[in-house]
């Protein structure tokens, strides 16, 4: 088997799995500018695509193939006419809480879908030069923490129902640290996180065996224009906006002090395109986020202020599989890809809210 050329010639082909979704449509223009051919494979799942039609946001030059990545026949049909130089693997089931109740569905898409893709590439003797995986901060679980006054890191593991029922949200006498692949090892606490880590391991092992470059990008909480407004598992930012837009006080889980790294879709798109086109990539996963954390209370307050809604309120509820704190150290992505996030939280929320306000028939959350 031979690999396609390494140069960034415009006649090269990029294949994007799950490319008709939120992230896929956002990167389609950048890919169309960098590659001669853009092929998208997507099953247009009704949880995301209510009408089952081609998204208007997908670049006009992108060739859309409707099919499920877990189906070997779909791959045989695609690879009969497509020789990918680069593959961007976005297709995944993403709901953290949902994954606990539909673990087979998540495992089939995320794990078996990945292995079907690799088997098909072997079967058709069409090895790409590079595979870019959109992974997730969920692979870290609760991540690494540091005891008060100590230098050494420790891994607290999954929070239990017993402690959460008693409103023990944090780990005693400890502070969380930023997620950085070179320093913090993965320890997922959800089925979704476990399947994303499995994707990483499968792709890296396969890639090293066949000399295929693998670029793994661990994304934080992605939000912004184009996010599904009908899928309850796509993130809290669009949900918060819809609540505030309808004049509802936003409910905050736990104590409202949960830390998250909210990154605008524009910044994620530029990172993925950079990973697909960069002359070199890293053997170590790259963390992609805004570079700072915000509490969900802060994000909700900004959104409430934008819409003139009542102030958010703390409910004390919690969700199994959620981690307490998560944010990225993005220094490695800057060093390897020359990538830096461009938008802060206020700018991102303004862009998201303006987009939601422009949509017809937005249903209250």
Phi and psi for 294 in degrees, rounded to 5? -130, 150
The answer to whether the beta carbons of residues 170 and 318 sit under 8 Å apart is: no
- CA distance to 153, 164, 170, per residue, from 156 (Å): 10, 14, 10
Q: Which two tokens stand for residue 109?
A: 């898409």
The Cα–Cα gap between 28 and 244 comes to 31
Q: Where are the beta strands (DSSP E) in 201-312?
A: 213-219, 221-223, 251-252, 259-260, 262-264, 286-288, 294-295
The answer to whether the beta carbons of residues 58 and 20 sit under 8 Å apart is: yes
Name 191's Cβ contacts closer than 8 Å, sequence gap at least 6: 99, 100, 103, 106, 107, 321
Q: Which two tokens stand for residue 246?
A: 């309808």
Name 154's Cβ contacts closer than 8 Å, sequence gap at least 6: 144, 145, 146, 147, 174
Number of helices (H), then strands (E), in the chain: 12, 16
Name 139's Cβ contacts closer than 8 Å, sequence gap at least 6: 186, 188, 193, 196, 197, 200, 218
CB atoms within 10 A of CB 103: 16
Catalytically annotated residue among 140, 155, 192, 210: 192
The Cα–Cα gap between 334 and 336 comes to 6
* Length, in residues, of the chain: 365
Q: Are strands 37-42 and 174-176 parallel, antiparallel or unpaired?
A: unpaired
The number of C-alpha atoms within 13 Å of 181 and in the hemisphere containing its C-beta is 25
Active site residue 192: yes
Active-site amino acid positions: 192
């Amino acid at each position: 088997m031979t690999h396609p050329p390494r140069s960034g010639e415009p006649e090269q082909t990029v294949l994007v799995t799950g490319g008709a979704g939120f992230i896929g449509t956002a990167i389609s223009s950048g890919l169309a500018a960098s590659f001669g051919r853009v092929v998208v494979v997507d099953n247009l799942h009704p949880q995301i695509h209510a009408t089952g039609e081609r998204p208007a946001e997908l670049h006009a030059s992108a060739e859309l193939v409707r099919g499920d990545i877990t189906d070997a026949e779909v791959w045989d049909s695609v690879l009969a006419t497509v020789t990918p130089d680069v593959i961007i693997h976005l297709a995944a089931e993403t709901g953290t809480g949902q994954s606990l109740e539909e673990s087979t569905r998540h495992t089939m898409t995320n794990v078996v879908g990945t292995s079907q893709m690799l088997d098909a590439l072997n079967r058709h003797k069409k090895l790409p030069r590079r595979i870019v995986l959109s992974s997730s901060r969920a692979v870290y679980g609760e991540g690494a923490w540091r005891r008060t006054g100590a230098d050494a890191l420790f891994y607290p593991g999954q929070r239990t129902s017993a402690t959460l029922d008693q409103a023990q949200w944090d780990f005693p006498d400890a502070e969380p640290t930023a997620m950085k692949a070179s320093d913090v090892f993965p320890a997922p606490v959800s089925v979704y996180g476990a399947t994303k880590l499995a994707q990483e391991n499968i792709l890296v092992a396969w890639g090293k065996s066949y000399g295929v470059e693998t670029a793994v990008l661990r994304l934080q909480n992605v939000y912004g224009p184009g996010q599904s407004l009908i899928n309850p598992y796509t993130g809290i930012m669009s949900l918060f906006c819809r609540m505030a837009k309808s004049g509802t006080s936003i409910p905050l889980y736990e104590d409202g002090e949960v830390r998250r790294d909210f990154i605008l879709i524009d910044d994620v798109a530029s990172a993925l395109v950079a990973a697909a086109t960069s002359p070199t990539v890293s053997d170590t996963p790259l963390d992609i986020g805004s570079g700072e954390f915000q509490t969900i209370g802060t994000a909700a307050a900004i959104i409430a202020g934008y819409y003139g809604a009542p102030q958010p309120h703390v409910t004390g509820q919690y969700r199994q599989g959620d981690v307490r704190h998560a944010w990225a150290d993005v220094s490695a992505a800057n060093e390897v890809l020359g990538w830096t996030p461009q938008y802060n939280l206020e700018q991102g929320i303004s862009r998201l809210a303006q987009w939601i306000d422009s949509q017809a028939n937005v249903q209250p959350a």
